[in-house]
Amino acid sequence: MRRAAALALLALAALALPARAEDGQLQHPFLAAPVWVYNNWSAYDELSDEVPLTEELALRELDQLVRLRRAGVRVDYYVMDAFWYDPDGGYRLWRKDWPHGADAWLDRCRENGIKPGLWFGTNSLVHLNPAETWRDSLTAAGDAMALYRGGFLADFMDVLQSWYDRGIRLFKLDFADFAAALPGDAKTVSRPRLRRRNRAALHAALAAFRRRNPDAVLVAFNGFVGDVATAKSAVEYADVRWLDVFDSLYAGDPRPSNVPEMNFWRSVDIYSDRMVRRFDLAGVPLARIDSTGFMIGDTGTNYGRRTAGWRGMALLTMARGGWINTIHGNLEFLDDADLRWLAKAQSLFDALQQAAAFRAFGGFAGDREPYGYEAAAADGAVYVVVNPAQAEQRAELPTMPHGAGGGRHGRVLYHDSGFVPQLEGRAIRLGAGQLAVVGFGRYAGPDYDLGVGPDIRIPRLIEPLDAPFARAGAALVYRATLKVPASGDLRIIMRQRDQTGQIMRSVSNRSMGEFFTIRAAEGDRVVPVAINYDKVVWSGLSWAAGEIRRADLTPGATLTLTLSSQDDDRSLRLEGHVFRVEY
């Protein structure tokens, strides 16, 4: 049924899709060139954290944005995300705890040549009370407004126009509820018909807004792309009919994928890659997908990552080919050396994003096979490749499209530390969980070198060990024993599945390092296990990964490994795997 629905959506949307250029790159119908957007969400977080949006914070990040630009980093827009508004102001009034309202921020954006943007909750009431003119559109629950009747939609479009007239140039629409019904319609009109009515009304209104304001940028978030719920690992659908009014569709907030990685942040990378691939296969051009994968900061929304693993995250954001490139969070966490590196990476990809043909290749991101992105231009090509497996693997690079001048010889421009990737003609050998960037043609020169990523470390060797895990009692506890090998560290991977073998996430307000545990002992001696997933994960987690260092092990001793989950569903099962690794 889901596949049939997706095919129907594609058929309906065929006329809305822009034409392909001769070189295979899908041209953007609204933007003349790719843009870079700064969004201040995750520098503050009033949903999964308690860091408020203040004028001081917003202007501090604006100062940082100016610092980025002086260092050569390109940023075109500054988006003020959720909760900038007075709850009683119907999106017309700024929040009262800002001494200067919106004026200081708007004036300083204008002075520095930065285009401002604003977040709107579309027709859902998110920390917002309904304005008087919206009340005849309210649902019975009072948490959203119908778009097809009543005063809400006309007033909402007037609000957008009023902010455009004040200088806002990017509009982020979030939390659209297309099932919203007037109280009298909730029981008499089918849900599919309600969704059609609401979509048609908003689509027509946004199309008219675009005609009046052709330089406005519209980006679509939750609701327009289906259900991006807390514990789900993927959206339900990507409705390509929105592509003729929106510049981009977002592919879900960053979260760990269902792929276990010793480095938690690489699993987060894989989630965004998997979502981009799903949208790609659903008919959304890569240029129109905002992967939303570049998020630094120290709040709950991005699991307090600060800048951990940020370089691979930035490279993947660019390599996915989107024309909306968004940086979220605390810009002050990037030091001057980081900014020089980011400016250099941008210089590699900026021209490619506009002129090259982008495509995804390899396995479906998150499965065992290596995968990546190709940007092929007339004078060369760049490949960003990821090996998601707990094994060294050889990734085949695709043959370049007709007319691309990549040349025979390539160069590894960037890779995670530890394992040194080996380029073998049109293939590259990668370590377990490793990312690498390869250039051919003009991009194979040393001027494009981006160095070695310092904070994701890949083992030089990894090999599986025989350690069958068995359930120990009624609880979700599994154990295995093995003889400690003569050399190397030990890596332990745990995954949680249901009775049919499907991966199952658990959601908890506790640290997942307490919820999923890996314990080790040699007899009565507890052996320490190093983990990287010990975070409060609002989106849930389905796996655990840990390593035991050689110095903490006794060669030849019997080691007992215990895996456990605190999930209440005792029908779930755990699987465990053990590897010997050397760094």
- Does the structure show a pLDDT above 90 at 17? no
Q: In what order do the strands lie in the sheet with 470-471?
A: 470-471, 477-483, 558-565, 516-522, 525-527
Helix 310-319, helix 264-281: angle, nearest 10: 10
Predicted confidence at residue 228, as pLDDT, reads: 47
Check for a shared fold between 362-459 and 462-582: yes
**Mind listing the pLDDT tens digit for each residue in 347-396?**
999 889 888 889 999 999 888 999 999 999 988 999 999 999 999 999 99
- Does the structure show a pLDDT above 90 at 574? yes
* Residues 374, 381: Cα–Cα separation, whole Å: 7
Predicted confidence at residue 402, as pLDDT, reads: 56
Beta bridge partners of residue 412, listed in sequence order: 438
* Residues 459, 581: Cα–Cα separation, whole Å: 6
**Mind listing the pLDDT tens digit for each residue in 112-130?**
999 999 999 999 999 999 9
Mean pLDDT of 86-103: 98
Predicted confidence at residue 409, as pLDDT, reads: 84
The letter for the amino acid at 26 is: L
11-25, 310-324, 363-377, range with greatest mean pLDDT = 310-324
* Residues 151, 464: Cα–Cα separation, whole Å: 63
Sequence ranges of the domains in the chain: 362-459, 462-582
Predicted confidence at residue 399, as pLDDT, reads: 80
- Tell me the CATH number of domain 362-459, given options 3.30.160.70, 2.60.40.420, 2.60.40.1180, 1.10.3720.10: 2.60.40.1180
**Beta strand pairing call for 115-120 and 77-80:** parallel
Mean pLDDT of 190-200: 96
Could you tell me which of 502, 459, 483, 475 has the C-alpha nearest to residue 559? 483
DSSP per-residue letters across 431-443: -TT-EEEEEEEGG
Within 10 angstroms of residue 150's Cβ, the number of other Cβ atoms is 17
Question: In which element (H, E) is residue 519 found?
Answer: strand 516-522
**Mind listing the pLDDT tens digit for each residue in 388-427?**
999 999 999 998 665 565 667 899 999 999 999 999 989 9
* Residues 320, 286: Cα–Cα separation, whole Å: 7
- Does the structure show a pLDDT above 60 at 25? no
Three-state helix/strand/coil letters over 202-231: HHHHHHHHHHHCCCCEEEECCECCECCCCC
Within 10 angstroms of residue 305's Cβ, the number of other Cβ atoms is 23
Predicted confidence at residue 513, as pLDDT, reads: 98
Mean pLDDT of the chain: 92
DSSP-derived 3-state class of residue 341: helix
Predicted confidence at residue 367, as pLDDT, reads: 86
* Residues 324, 366: Cα–Cα separation, whole Å: 23
Predicted confidence at residue 366, as pLDDT, reads: 81
**In the structure, what pLDDT confidence band is assigned to residue 238 with cuts at 50, 70 and 90?**
low
Instruction: Give the whole-number percent of the chain exceeding pLDDT 70.
Output: 92
Is 345 or 24 the better-scoring residue by pLDDT?
Answer: 345
- Does the structure show a pLDDT above 80 at 229? no
- Does the structure show a pLDDT above 50 at 3? no
What's the CATH architecture for 462-582? Sandwich (2.60)
Helices (H), 282-426: 310-319, 336-355
**In the structure, what pLDDT confidence band is assigned to residue 239 with cuts at 50, 70 and 90?**
confident
27-36, 316-325, 397-406, range with greatest mean pLDDT = 316-325
- Does the structure show a pLDDT above 50 at 4? no
> 0.85 cut: is pTM over it?
yes
Predicted confidence at residue 406, as pLDDT, reads: 60
Predicted confidence at residue 350, as pLDDT, reads: 86
Mean pLDDT of 229-258: 79
Predicted confidence at residue 230, as pLDDT, reads: 43
Three-state helix/strand/coil letters over 526-580: EECCEECCCCCCCCCECEEEEEECHHHCCCCCEEEEEEEECCCCCCCEEEEEEEE
Instruction: Give the whole-number percent of the chain exceeding pLDDT 90.
Output: 87
Predicted confidence at residue 20, as pLDDT, reads: 36
Predicted confidence at residue 356, as pLDDT, reads: 82
